[in-house]
Amino acid sequence: MTFREDMASRKENAKSANRVLRISQLDALELNKALEQLVWSQFTQCFHGFKPGLLARFEPEVKACLWLFLWRFTIYSKNATVGQSVLNIQYKNDFSPNLRYQPPSKNQKIWYAVCTIGGRWLEERCYDLFRNHHLASFGKVKQCVNFVVGLLKLGGLINFLIFLQRGKFATLTERLLGIHSVFCKPQNIREVGFEYMNRELLWHGFAEFLIFLLPLISVQKLKAKLSSWCIPLTGAPNSDNTLATSGKECSLCGEWPTMPHTIGCEHIFCYFCAKSSFLFDMYFTCPKCGTEVHSLQPLKSGIEMSEVNAL
C-alpha–C-alpha distance, residues 183 and 145, integer Å: 37
At 261 the three-state DSSP class reads strand
User: Bridge partners of 181?
Assistant: 91
* Strand-strand pairing, 297-298 and 261-262: antiparallel
Domain identity same for 21 and 167: yes
> Are residues 239 and 215 in contact, defined by beta-carbon separation less than 8 angstroms?
no
Q: Is residue 154 part of a domain?
A: yes
pLDDT at 111: 94
Q: What is the DSSP letter of 117?
A: I
The structure's pTM equals 0.55
Owning domain of residue 27: 15-183
SS3 at position 162:
helix
Whether 174 and 263 map to the same domain: the answer is no
**Among 183, 205, 226, residue at a domain's last position:** 183
pLDDT confidence of 173, banded at 50, 70, 90?
Answer: very high
pLDDT in tens, 79-122: 999 999 888 899 999 888 777 888 899 999 999 999 999 988 88
Check whether residue 150 and residue 260 sit in a common domain: no
> Which of 126, 148, 183 is the last residue in one of the domains?
183
Give domain status of residue 67, yes or no: yes
Return the pLDDT at 76: 92
- Per the prediction, the chain carries an average pLDDT of 78
How many residues make up the chain in this entry? 311
The span from the CA of 289 to the CA of 305, in Å, is 25
Q: Does 88 share its domain with 179?
A: yes
Domain co-membership, 172 together with 270: no
| Number of separate domains in the chain | 2
pLDDT of amino acid 116:
92
Q: What CATH number corresponds to the domain at position 280?
A: 3.30.40.10
157 and 42 housed in the same domain:
yes
Q: How far apart are the first and last CA of the chain?
A: 107
**Where would I find the beta strands (DSSP E) of the chain?**
89-93, 179-183, 261-262, 297-298
Do 38 and 144 share a domain, yes or no? yes
As a whole number, mean pLDDT of residues 112-134 equals: 80
Give the span between the Cα atoms of 64 and 162, in whole angstroms: 30
Longest dimension (CA), the chain: 119
Choose between 305 and 230: higher pLDDT. 230
Is residue 113 included in any domain, yes or no? yes
Last residue of a domain, one of 183, 211, 233: 183
Report if residue 194 sits inside a domain.
Answer: no
pLDDT of residue 243: 47
Domain presence at residue 211: no
